[in-house]
Structure 1
Amino acid sequence: MLDDLDRALIHALHIDGRAPFTQLATVLSVSPQTVSRRYERLRDQAALRVVGLPDPHLTGHEQWLLRLRADSETALNLAHALVRRQDTSWVYLTGGGTEIVAVLETPLGMAHGHSLLLHELPPSMGLTAVSAHHLLHTYRGWRTPWRMSANALTARQQRALSGQRLTEHDAVSSVSSVSSAECDGHVQLTPADHALLDALRRDGRTAVADLAVGTGWSPATVTRRLERLRACGAIFFDIEIDPALLGGNVKALLWMAVAPAHLDEAATALAHHDELAFVAHTTGPTNLVAQALCRDTKALYRYLTHGLGAVKAIRAMETAPVLRILKAVGTIASPGLPHRPA
């Protein structure tokens, strides 16, 4: 079970995933040694991980939500094949265990990127149905965490962490070698940037010294470049953790159909529901998708009938229970990967 300090540390890492233990200790009013021990315990026992992620819109990519159906004998093998890909995240096994839902990231303008992925999968996977939904706008998720995982700090504590980030951004902006125009639109990533992002996808708190080895830059260059990418919004940090420890024992994907005239209003309202960790507008007949996390099946029933039932704009809905989460947003780490928390 998580106590108040665990929850506060998780919330703090949502605000700044790379904040030094000394800074986290000051905000949480404990010693740095206590923060370090709690962080390592949460890593070991709660599957906590900080991951660095590129913003697809700023780095020239787009996202697709794929629904793949396969024979019951091959569905799990298909899911694992998707897990091993570098361009996938959120690989779920849903429904009766024969449907896989995954997010695929493709270069901007590669409209048939999801089709190319399917051609790369072995024919023995036994696909029986495929649908692809372009993620057009995210109302909750990615940069905006689930409300139940980020509700432990006071407003003053949150300001202390976010205010420090702004101070750091101001400090590096004048010495960065990157043009300020880069923050106004598409950010051109170099091969070294990709190496940096690959390392941060595995562990967002990888020490600067290790990042320098992976990129070929000096530690000072790594620090400047990372801060610049964060200041531009081209990279941000997210948290992976077992949602059951935060009250999300029952997980379900909700595929909803909403009239276009009411879509933005309905999605904005849903983004404030405590039960939803993800809300996004997609293409397709179900143009609004959400992920629900509830304490138990009774709580899910109450939410579906009363919480969502009160949103009159929802014309139709399909509920797909999530049986297994095989991959979240970060890269699956390789054995023996060096790790030294920043």
Structure 2
Amino acid sequence: MPPSQKDGYVPGLTRGIELDATDRALIAELQVDGRVPFVELGRRLGLSEKTVRNRVSALLSSDVIRIIGLTDPRMLGFEAIAMVGLTTDPAVPASQIAAEIAGIRDIDYVVVTTGRYSIMVEILATSPERLRHVIERQIGPIAGVRSMEIFPCFSLFYQKARFLAEGPASGVRSSPLSELDRRLAMVLSTDGRMPFRVAADRLGISETQVRARVSAMLEARQLSILAIMNPLAVGRSVAWLGLKIAPGARCEDVASHLADDPSVSYVFICGGRFDLFVEVICDNDSQLYSAIDKRFRSDRRIANAELFYYLDLHYKILSDID
């Protein structure tokens, strides 16, 4: 259990923090490869191994980052996934409602946003029945929630948690896993730097098998091992885009095209008012506007793009809601 987890509540990744240049450089390297040896990190950054180890330990213990194996949540048993847009009573602060929702175990992402919704929530549930329970019995009764619009997930098409590191980044795409790979991915979802011999002991297989399977999943983009953090903690500008696909265009074709955009971190194919939800992360508001205007609104296959700008974000890890 993470040190921050008490009485069933997981506060998620810290936002109100100050990171110096060394912290940012370390996180950037760990977003490229979460398992890079500390001695190698020190060599790259001109630091001692002890300094690197202490810095990374401090970042982990304070919940600034977590180093995890990132994969499709469906492969870890979350079979019912949905985005929910909430309208709220102006008399109740949206931030207060969002904080209460973030305490629900099945919630991994809560955004206070602009636009038609005051709050947007991603739910990862183990079954449709559990999803319905969370919506009706846990979110619905919260004081200040006026209405909900539910967008069931058909596919988590693409996810990428890297945004500090320079250069191109490959995200995880939805792809079936074998039972062994699923179990291995679940183990690494709690600790991406877990020694392979420890993972092997837990799964009852050899260390050589673990190394081979992890390498294969990384190569197939079924798994990524990296440091993740709240992007608002480092001043990034973030927004959801709700996209309606034009008649005649294929949703998966558009999703595949958008996944190649360096500013896109998440592509969620859904039902309802929108066909796609796309998360865009940029260095600042100017870049965010430019990306949306030039790369999305100019695409003839997109009939409509609606912006939901992040004002605040509660971000948890899959292993914390397991």
Q: Does the 8 Å contact 2:249/2:301 carry over to 1?
A: no
More off after superposition, 282-291 vs 6-15: 6-15
Q: Does the 8 Å contact 1:17/1:204 carry over to 2?
A: yes
Q: Matched residues in 2 for 1:98 and 1:138: separation? A: 21
Matches within 5 A, 1:25-36: 25=42, 30-36=47-53
Which runs of no fewer than 5 residues in structure 2 stay unpaired?
1-18, 171-175
Mark the CA change 1:254 to 1:54 in structure 2 (over 3 Å): closer, same or farther: closer
Aligned length: 289
Q: Matched residues in 2 for 1:330 and 1:57: separation? A: 11
User: Which of 104, 116, 119 is equivalent to 1:85?
Assistant: 104
What is the aligned partner in structure 2 of residue 39 from structure 1?
Answer: 56
Give the root-mean-square deviation of aligned CA atoms.
4.3
Q: Could you report, residue by residue, the CA deviation over 1:168-224 in whole angstroms, capped at 9, with x for unpaired residues?
A: xxxxxxxxxxxxxxx95356989xx98x67xx54x6557899x89xxxx97896995
Q: Does the 8 Å contact 2:31/2:227 carry over to 1?
A: yes
Q: Which amino acid aligns with 2:76?
A: T
Is structure 2 residue 132 aligned with structure 1 residue 145?
Answer: no
What is the aligned partner in structure 1 of residue 178 from structure 2?
Answer: 185
Q: Does the 8 Å contact 1:251/1:291 carry over to 2?
A: yes
Matches within 5 A, 1:140-289: 140-141=158-159, 144-146=160-162, 148-151=163-166, 185-186=178-179, 201=190, 204-205=192-193, 230=214, 233=217, 237-244=225-232, 248=236, 250-259=237-246, 261-289=249-277
Q: Which amino acid aligns with 1:56?
A: P
Note the C-alpha offset of 1:133: 1.9
User: Which of 114, 128, 134 is equivalent to 1:117?
Assistant: 134
Is structure 2 residue 64 aligned with structure 1 residue 71?
Answer: no
Q: Could you report, residue by residue, the CA deviation over 1:117-165 in whole angstroms, capped at 9, with x for unpaired residues?
A: 1232272434322222233333442xx334x433269x9xx9xxxxxxx
Is structure 2 residue 67 aligned with structure 1 residue 50?
Answer: yes
Bigger helix share: 1
Q: TM-score under structure 1 normalisation?
A: 0.65
What is the aligned partner in structure 2 of residue 176 from structure 1?
Answer: none
More off after superposition, 310-319 vs 228-237: 228-237
Q: Does the 8 Å contact 1:46/1:242 carry over to 2?
A: no
Q: Flag the structure with larger Rg.
A: 1
Q: Does the 8 Å contact 1:97/1:323 carry over to 2?
A: no
Note the C-alpha offset of 1:104: 1.4
Note the C-alpha offset of 1:95: 1.9
Note the C-alpha offset of 1:226: 7.3
User: Which of 286, 310, 313 is equivalent to 2:298?
Assistant: 310
Which runs of no fewer than 5 residues in structure 1 stay unpaired?
159-182, 334-342
Q: 3-state DSSP class of the match of 1:261?
A: coil
Q: Matched residues in 2 for 1:219 and 1:331: separation? A: 16
Note the C-alpha offset of 1:77: 4.3
Q: Matched residues in 1 for 2:227 and 2:120: separation? A: 20
Sequence identity percentage = 21
Mark the CA change 1:327 to 1:137 in structure 2 (over 3 Å): closer, same or farther: same
Is structure 2 residue 123 aligned with structure 1 residue 130?
Answer: no
Q: Does the 8 Å contact 1:89/1:327 carry over to 2?
A: yes
